[in-house]
Every structure is written in structure tokens, then in C-alpha cells.
């Protein structure tokens, strides 16, 4: 049995693997790049080893460096997680050649299933239904255009290599084919170094249903039922669930049977996923699904299948990789309840899912994480920095319920009470997805998010307003004084009392009277995290805001003069623009502070000579820190 394991990955999947290894008594070695030197998976592992610069091509994609690190630390095996080198047959071969155990399927299986045309050929041989299309060797424009006319439009152009939605183009009519083909080939060559494509009949309203399979070297192959991964944006999964809604037993039997047949036909070992496409405009029947591809690794969404089967897939991977037989037979595997997973990403759905990076100031669900009804799988905690270098997913929220309806209600509630402050987040967007009528009805499909548009991606205006008013209320809670003249209760002669509070979100600042902004009764109740004296993280309906109480008195003092330059908020000094002894004029730039994902120029409050500089470039500074002091005028 494996006793020591190097994890050639990062983030939440590395942490997830470490948790199972701890329970099994397996020693763990975490690999990390410069960007991840203080990452959660590094802190969790028994040993951590540096493998290179932040860029993945110089670290997490350097198979030779990873293998050398594994040898140096005396591990038995390498687990690739998902992404990076997890489906790289050459890396798997190199691991085995180095005398190490590869936690994954055999390299020849990875190679065969990694090319979509070869995978579809093998599926056809195994009797698995495949969509009509072209998978020929000839790749010239004339041949491909002719094949497209035979298939009919609309159709999909798909890169043979790779995945992740790259190298895929939808073609609605013949006149668009040539330009879309050129675009798909360019992207495939850039992403995978392989510009070959296949053509496939397009299912206009597709559902994405996949089957989890496991095999061992003893010839045993089982399935862990199906997952529905139809809720996607830009062909990237957003919300997954197990089992698939509306799945009849006869359809389940046909689909899982096809997946197991394909796995057996290639002698599959370890964890794998057979993905199918289903026509969402037609009933879910035994003849209404087609093979899409096979992922020869652990999937991001594997926890939902774990929750409904009660199995630990990482444990099964380690057992099978050690040469042992699967400890479960098909008859041992049951299906209980319903599980849903939501991918938490550092991105802004309202800005086209633009990814973000920076310091996480508050993060996580307020609900109790028991591991049975609620799992929180994350690679980050408050105080960690999200680097701009890698995928935007930073955590997964998984909820189990006795029924699908219970799981949906619980997921929506937990998302409402999950906070992400400091970087852009998609938590509110996820809540709107699972609350949508289409999701409740099980009628969602791969294009549903794009079709819904702003209704899902843009937060309701009432959410930010409620967050701002919550901070106003905090300021106005205690306005008493030692005598009547000290009360700040907004009393006015011959008029209703009016209390005002200063607030700022981003670059927008104002002084508001909360009574002037009534909220609808169905507006979610905000919850507030105090970050510092004047900074609050507020979450309303899953949409989080950083609300600041601006110090207008300090600003006025600075404009009028003063003997120091102060940091107006916590941040990082990017640069200092003056030296001790420099003579500066009022308003001259003294330094640049990076805070709230923006650069802020700090200016001299008056003219004079710089007598002291109290920070250095690169320092993290707190609100109110003295940056520079002034001497004589």
C-alpha cells in the first residue's frame, strides 16, 4: 500500500487529497510554485517542496522537476489531481519509468481517450452510441467543408486534443464554416500544440450527463451512478448534481451500462468519467444520449457522487494504484439522497466572468460544516492571496439532502450565508442559478446561463443598497451624548429627525440618510464582518461588498496641511517617490499604495522638506500608518 505521496497539483484538490491521506496515514508532500509559497495545501502537507516560478509552464507543468522532487523526498507515488499533467500520458510514463506509482489509469489508456476522434472510435467498437460527425485523418479545408455539408448545420468544430471548452466553435451556417474553422485551429494549436479537429452534429439544447467509473488491475469495473453537469458558462461547469434530475431507472441502466462497457473495453484502471450529451428538447430515454468524451482522472465534481454513495474516491484511487482490488462490488454501491456542488470562483459574473486576484479578507460559509450534509472544499482561507496566474476556482460548496428539493433549498440558503471579501466572487450568481425556475424544474441545459443573461449574472441593486445601509445603521446605533447637546439623534426644529452616515463602495462615496432608502420586504438580510475600524465586509443574498466609512475629517485636515502622509486604508506600498531631504510642494506625489485592487497615489498635504520615511516599497501597511513625515515649510 502507498505510504508516501507527492501531490503534483495545488488549491482545493491538493487539500482534498491531503485530507484523505491523513485519515489513511499516508505521508504527503506538497509541490508549490513561487505564487503558492504560503498556500493552504502547503500548510496542510507533511512536507512541501518548491518546484519553480509562478508560471505553470515553469512549475506545475514541469514533469521532470516534479519527478525529481518526488525522488528526493522518497515518496512511493505521485497523484496528479486534475488539470496540469493529470491527463498527460508522457508524464505518466515518466513517473512509472522513475520507479514511482502513478495514481491514475495506464498511460496507453490516457493516450487513447485523450484524443476525441480515437475515443469516439473506441466507443463505437464498444457499442456505445456516438453523435454523427467527421473524424477522418484529412484536415484540409475542402475535405472538412464537404464533410460539414454532409452532416448538416448547425454543427460543432472540436479540437481533437485537450479539453476545457477550448478549440470548440459552433457553426450555424455554411458561410461561417471557414472562419470558424480557422479560429478553432488557431486556439487548439495555441492551447494543445495540436490543431487537428473533428466535426460533430450540434444538439441545440444539450444536457451534459456523465457516469463515474472505477476499474482495477484485476479486471473489476464498476460505476458510481451519474451526475448532471448541464449548468455551464462558456462550456465550463458551474453547478453539478447527483443523481441527474428526471433520470428513469431504465435510462440509468442503459447509460451506466454503456460507460462500464467502454471502460472494460480499454482495461480501465482507477477513476474515470464517461461523459454523454443528451438532447434536452426530447424526453430522457435509453436512445437519446450519445458519447461525448472520457476524462481519465478525478473530476472537479466528484464530491457529489461521494455524497450519494458514501465512498471516498481518493481512497479508492490509492488502493487501486497500489495494485489491490477494488474493495466494493457493483451490488455494494447504493444511491442515497441528492447532492449539489457549486464552484466558488474569484471572478465577476457581471463583467463577463472576469477573473480577479488579491488578498482574501473574509471567506467561507456561516453554516456548520459537518462533512455529511455540508462539505466545504477550499484551497484558500481568509488572509490568503489569490494569485492571478491560475484558474479562478478557489473552493467548492457541496450540499446533501434527502431529496433534490431539500438539497436545492439548503444550497440556496448556504450560498446566501457564504462570504467572499477582497476579490470578486460569484457566490450570489450561484445562488440565483440554483433558485431559478429552470434549475428547480430540471429543464436547464448547457446554454441556459448565456440565454438568461443579466438575470443571473448581475446582482439586484437592492443587495448592494442593503449592504450599504447596514453599515449606515452600525454608525448610527450609538449616537448618545453626556448631555442633550451631545446627542446625535438627528433632531431638527420643525422637521422630522434625520441621521446621516458616510459610506463608500469602491470609488463611490456619499453621506446617506437610511430612512430615505426603504427596502422591499423580500430583500435578504445582510450579515456584516468587521475588518477594521472603518472597513466592513457585508454580504446580502450571497453578493458581497467591501463598504468603507470614509474619514472626511482626516481628508479635510490633509487638504489643509499637516505634518505627515498617512495610509488611508490597508494595502501594499508599491513605490516611494521621494527620499529624505527632498523638498516637495503641496499636492506632490509621495508614494503609490495598492489597495482594493487599485493603485492610490498619496500626496503631500503641504509644502515642505521630507524629514523621515517610515516604510519601504513592498511593505504591507495598516490604515493610518505614517508613510512620510514633514519638517520645515
Specify the residue for cell string 482561507. 381
Query: Which of 106, 112, 104 has the alpha carbon at shortest distance from 83?
Result: 104
How many CA atoms does the CB half-sphere of 517 hold within 13 Å?
20
CB 565 within 8 A of CB 591: yes
**Residues 539, 344 contacting (CB under 8 angstroms):** no
- Give yes or no for a contact between 569 and 548, defined as CB atoms under 8 angstroms apart: yes
Of 300, 303, 271, give the one whose Cα is nearest residue 371.
303
Q: Which DSSP string do the residues of 62-107 spell out, in sequence order?
A: -HHHHHHHHHHTT-SEEE--SSTTTT-HHHHHHHHHTT-EESSS-H
DSSP 53: -
Q: Is the peptide bond before 169 cis (omega within 30 degrees of 0)?
A: no
Q: How far apart are CA 70 and CA 79, in angstroms?
A: 11
Note whether 231 and 238 are within 8 A (CB): yes
Separation of alpha carbons 297 and 272, rounded Å: 5
Cell of 242: 447527483
Cis peptide preceding 154, ω within 30 of 0: yes
Q: How far apart are CA 157 and CA 170, in angstroms?
A: 6
Q: Is 385 a catalytic residue?
A: no
* Beta strands per DSSP E along 549-633: 564-566, 571-576, 583-584, 589-595, 598-603, 608-613, 620-621, 626-630
**Whether 363 contacts 424, CB under 8 Å:** no
Please tell me the distance from the alpha carbon of residue 147 to that of residue 181, in angstroms, as a whole number. 13
The closest of 396, 402, 388, 277 to 337, measured between CA atoms, is 402
Count of all residues that appear for the chain in the document: 633
Task: Answer whether 342's CB lies under 8 Å from 420's CB.
Answer: no
Task: Using DSSP bridges, classify how beta strands 77-79 and 4-7 pair: parallel, antiparallel or unpaired.
Answer: parallel
- 316 in Cβ contact with 104 (< 8 Å): no
Eight-class DSSP state of 516: G
Q: Which three cell numbers stand for residue 40?
A: 493552504
CB 95 within 8 A of CB 67: yes
The residue assigned the cell 428538447 is: 281
Query: Out of 40, 297, 404, 535, which one is annotated catalytic?
Result: 297
Active site residues: 297
Amino acid at each position: 500500500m502507498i505510504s508516501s505521496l507527492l501531490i503534483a497539483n495545488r488549491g482545493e484538490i491538493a487539500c482534498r487529497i491531503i485530507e484523505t491521506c491523513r485519515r489513511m496515514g499516508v505521508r504527503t508532500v506538497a509541490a508549490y510554485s513561487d505564487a503558492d509559497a504560503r498556500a493552504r495545501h502547503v500548510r496542510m502537507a507533511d512536507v512541501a517542496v518548491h518546484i519553480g516560478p509562478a508560471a505553470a509552464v515553469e512549475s506545475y507543468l514541469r514533469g521532470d522537476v516534479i519527478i525529481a522532487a518526488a525522488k528526493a523526498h522518497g515518496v512511493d507515488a505521485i497523484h496528479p489531481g486534475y488539470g496540469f499533467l493529470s491527463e498527460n500520458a508522457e508524464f505518466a510514463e515518466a513517473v512509472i519509468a522513475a520507479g514511482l506509482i502513478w495514481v491514475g489509469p495506464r498511460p496507453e489508456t490516457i493516450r487513447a481517450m485523450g484524443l476525441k476522434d480515437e475515443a469516439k472510435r473506441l466507443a463505437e467498437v464498444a457499442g456505445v452510441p456516438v453523435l454523427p460527425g467527421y473524424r477522418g485523418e484529412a484536415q484540409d479545408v475542402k475535405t472538412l467543408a464537404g464533410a460539414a455539408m454532409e452532416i448538416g448545420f448547425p454543427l460543432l468544430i472540436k479540437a481533437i486534443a485537450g479539453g476545457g471548452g477550448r478549440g470548440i466553435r459552433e457553426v450555424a451556417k455554411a458561410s461561417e464554416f471557414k472562419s470558424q474553422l480557422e479560429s478553432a485551429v488557431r486556439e487548439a494549436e495555441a492551447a494543445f500544440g495540436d490543431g487537428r479537429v473533428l466535426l460533430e452534429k450540434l444538439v441545440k439544447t444539450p444536457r451534459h450527463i456523465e457516469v463515474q467509473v472505477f476499474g482495477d488491475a484485476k479486471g473489476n469495473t464498476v460505476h458510481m451512478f451519474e451526475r448532471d453537469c448541464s449548468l455551464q458558462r462558456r462550456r465550463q461547469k458551474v453547478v453539478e448534481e447527483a443523481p441527474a434530475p428526471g433520470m428513469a431507472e431504465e435510462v440509468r441502466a442503459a447509460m451506466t451500462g454503456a460507460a462500464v462497457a467502454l471502460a472494460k473495453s480499454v482495461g480501465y484502471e482507477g477513476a474515470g468519467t464517461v461523459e454523454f450529451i443528451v438532447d434536452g428538447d426530447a424526453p430522457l430515454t435509453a436512445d437519446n444520449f450519445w458519447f461525448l468524451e472520457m476524462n481519465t482522472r478525478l473530476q472537479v465534481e466528484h464530491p457529489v457522487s461521494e455524497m450519494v454513495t458514501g465512498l471516498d474516491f481518493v481512497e479508492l484511487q490509492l488502493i487501486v494504484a497500489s495494485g489491490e482490488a477494488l474493495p466494493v462490488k457493483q451490488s455494494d454501491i447504493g444511491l442515497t439522497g441528492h447532492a449539489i456542488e457549486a464552484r466558488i470562483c474569484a471572478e465577476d459574473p457581471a463583467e463577463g466572468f472576469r477573473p480577479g486576484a488579491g488578498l482574501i479578507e473574509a471567506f467561507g460559509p456561516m453554516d456548520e460544516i459537518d462533512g455529511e450534509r455540508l462539505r466545504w472544499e477550499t484551497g484558500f482561507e481568509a488572509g490568503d492571496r489569490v494569485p492571478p496566474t491560475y484558474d479562478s476556482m478557489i473552493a467548492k460548496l457541496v450540499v446533501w439532502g434527502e431529496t433534490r428539493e431539500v438539497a436545492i433549498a439548503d444550497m440556496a440558503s448556504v450560498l446566501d450565508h457564504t462570504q467572499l471579501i477582497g476579490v470578486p466572487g460569484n457566490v450570489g450568481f450561484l445562488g440565483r442559478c440554483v433558485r431559478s425556475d429552470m434549475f428547480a424544474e430540471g429543464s436547464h441545459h448547457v446554454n441556459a446561463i448565456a440565454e438568461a443573461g443579466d438575470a443571473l449574472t448581475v446582482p439586484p441593486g437592492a443587495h448592494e443598497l442593503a449592504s450599504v445601509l447596514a453599515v449606515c445603521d452600525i454608525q448610527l446605533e450609538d449616537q448618545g451624548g453626556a448631555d442633550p447637546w451631545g446627542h446625535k439623534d438627528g433632531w431638527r426644529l420643525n422637521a422630522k429627525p434625520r441621521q446621516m452616515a458616510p459610506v463608500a463602495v469602491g470609488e463611490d462615496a456619499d453621506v446617506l440618510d437610511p430612512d430615505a432608502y426603504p427596502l422591499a420586504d423580500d430583500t435578504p438580510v445582510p450579515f456584516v464582518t468587521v475588518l477594521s475600524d472603518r472597513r466592513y465586509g457585508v454580504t446580502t443574498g450571497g453578493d458581497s461588498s467591501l463598504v468603507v466609512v470614509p474619514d472626511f475629517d482626516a481628508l479635510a485636515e490633509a487638504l489643509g496641511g499637516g505634518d505627515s502622509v498617512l495610509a488611508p486604508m490597508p494595502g501594499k506600498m508599491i513605490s516611494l517617490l521621494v527620499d529624505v531631504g527632498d523638498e516637495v510642494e503641496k499636492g506632490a506625489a509621495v508614494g503609490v499604495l495598492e489597495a482594493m485592487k487599485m493603485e492610490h497615489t498619496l500626496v503631500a498635504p503641504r509644502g515642505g522638506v521630507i524629514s523621515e520615511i517610515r516604510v519601504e516599497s513592498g511593505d504591507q501597511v495598516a490604515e493610518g500608518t505614517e508613510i512620510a513625515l514633514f519638517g520645515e515649510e
